[in-house]
Amino acid sequence: MQISHAVLIAGLSLSSCIDCLAQSTPSIAPVAVTAPTSAPSALLQPALDTVLQTVTAVKLEKWKRGTVRDETGEHITAIEHDLQGTLPPLLQTADANAATLSKVLPVTRNAEALYDVLVSVVEAARVAAPPDQVAQLEQALSGLGTALKSLDDRVLEIATAQEQQTSDLRKTVQTLNAARVAAAAAPPPAKPCPAPAPARKPKKKPPAGTPAAPAAAPTAAKPSS
């Protein structure tokens, strides 16, 4: 019930790659990643509730005495602490960021560790517990396993979507870089020649022999009285 280590690393690398590409090309609108239709808690919470109810109802006093019963008591305490204290805030964060791989993976890792501890409880029950308690624990384990499979599928869905987003961003960056290179290599546009100034028409000279205009006669001053 565990996602391969390679898938987890690849998913986190994709998240980092998307952030880097988005920062290097702020003018590019990021490609939207379709949010999952169901929040992680919707996939996991019903099975977690069943596990908590089942381990709380376990009556260790009816088990065979010995180290198996003692260790199982410690495992049940750890499961209750995880279900009531550790997982709720992780689920809340994952629900608020259901399409972000780095927020969903902590839930997956924690729930898978919880599954491993529950496996130990079930195996111990088969050795020391009454049949009715064994059946209840096995049913809770089966339900948690199914829920984890659904959550694993969702993680792969998110990783695939982010991989597509990364590919689209890379293509966009390459297109913009090619356009910048082409623009830098193109010769600058030729400046238009200024229009010539209109020619000034020469003034016509009067024909030769034309008498000059007589000067105006001075005005005689009036005698004072």
Residue 14 lies in a domain: yes
Q: What is the pLDDT of residues 146-174, one digit of tens each?
A: 999 999 999 998 888 777 667 667 777 77
Residue 221 lies in a domain: no
| Of 126 and 184, the one with more pLDDT | 126
Q: How does DSSP assign 51-92, residue by residue?
A: HHHHHHT--GGGSPSSHHHHHHHHHHHHHHHIIIIIHHHHHH
Residue 107 lies in a domain: yes
Q: Are 96 and 142 in contact (CB under 8 A)?
A: no
Domain hosting residue 153, numbered range: 5-183
134 vs 12: CA distance, rounded Å: 39
Residue 191 lies in a domain: no
pLDDT category of residue 11 using cuts at 50, 70 and 90: low
Domain total of the chain:
1
Cβ atoms within 10 Å of 110's Cβ, excluding its own: 15
In this predicted structure, what is the pLDDT of residue 67? 93
Q: What is the pLDDT of residues 191-214, one digit of tens each?
A: 776 666 666 666 666 666 655 555
Half-sphere exposure of residue 211, counting CA atoms within 13 Å on the CB side?
3
In this predicted structure, what is the pLDDT of residue 28? 45
